[in-house]
Amino acid sequence: MTIEFADFEKKTKITFKDKNLLKQAFIHRSYINENGNTGLSHNERLEFLGDAVLELIVTDFLYKKYPSYTEGELTALRSALVNAVIIADVALKIGMNDFLLLSRGEAKDTGKARQYILANTYEAYAGAVYLDLGYEAVNQFVKDTLLPYTEEIVSKKLWRDAKSLVQEKAQEFVEVTPAYKVLNEAGPDHDKHFTVGIFFGPDLIAEGKGKSKQEAEQSAASNALKVKNWLD
């Protein structure tokens, strides 16, 4: 089946001058391993660029929207917004999953690994838009797709540091200090994925996943808050 990237251009109303740049944003490393003669590279360099562009756009937006927030609060809010789970959800909603170029093996995996691929593709696409059409175009794209999530994050206070909050609640309600343990570690050095458990004493309360132990711990803490119904 041939993927028609013109369909994605219609969907997003963003038309690329360099069609190869658009296609490259969707090429996963695994696809190149099976299809080395495409003449195009995978999307990791674009992802690197897009990550920085995304951080600037989100930072600028939050700085202007919440003038009374401290640096720490803005940092926590940005981390909650530029989060692999949320970005993957955005990517899914705008149909990126239908345009991914993956190896046959990766194409079969629709679990957590696909979530990270989608998040990375969104960042790579942001990098591609920036290179091809400039800052204003990518700023509008992020404004339309990702920034609407801000209201929910603020209203539900999801931006607060989950580890600090769960520690505070655990000491208040069950008089224990949460402990974290790596339950699983997978992937090559350049693309590690961690699964971390949060424990109250001997009891496993919740698990979290992330590209780093810190991210996985935050995810586990956030999930524990939901399990315990401690999100006020």
Residue 161, phi then psi, degrees to nearest 5: -60, 115
Q: What is the pLDDT of residue 94?
A: 96
User: Between helices 44-65 and 71-81, what is the axis angle to 10°?
Assistant: 130
Tokens, residue 190: 């350049």
Q: Which structural domains are found in the chain, ordered by start?
A: 5-155 (1.10.1520.10), 162-227 (3.30.160.20)
pLDDT, residue 2, reads: 76
Residues annotated as part of the active site? 51, 123
Return all residues near 127 (Cβ < 8 A) that are at least 6 apart: 25, 45, 46, 47, 48, 49, 50, 51, 53
Helix (H, G, I), strand (E, B) or coil at 183: strand
For the chain, 232 residues long, give each residue's pLDDT as a single digit of tens.
578 999 999 999 999 999 999 999 999 998 988 887 778 899 999 999 999 999 999 999 999 999 999 887 888 888 888 888 889 999 999 999 999 999 888 887 777 778 889 999 999 999 999 999 999 999 999 999 999 999 888 877 666 678 888 988 999 899 999 999 999 998 887 778 899 999 999 999 999 988 788 888 988 998 898 899 887 6
Q: What is the pLDDT of residue 73?
A: 81
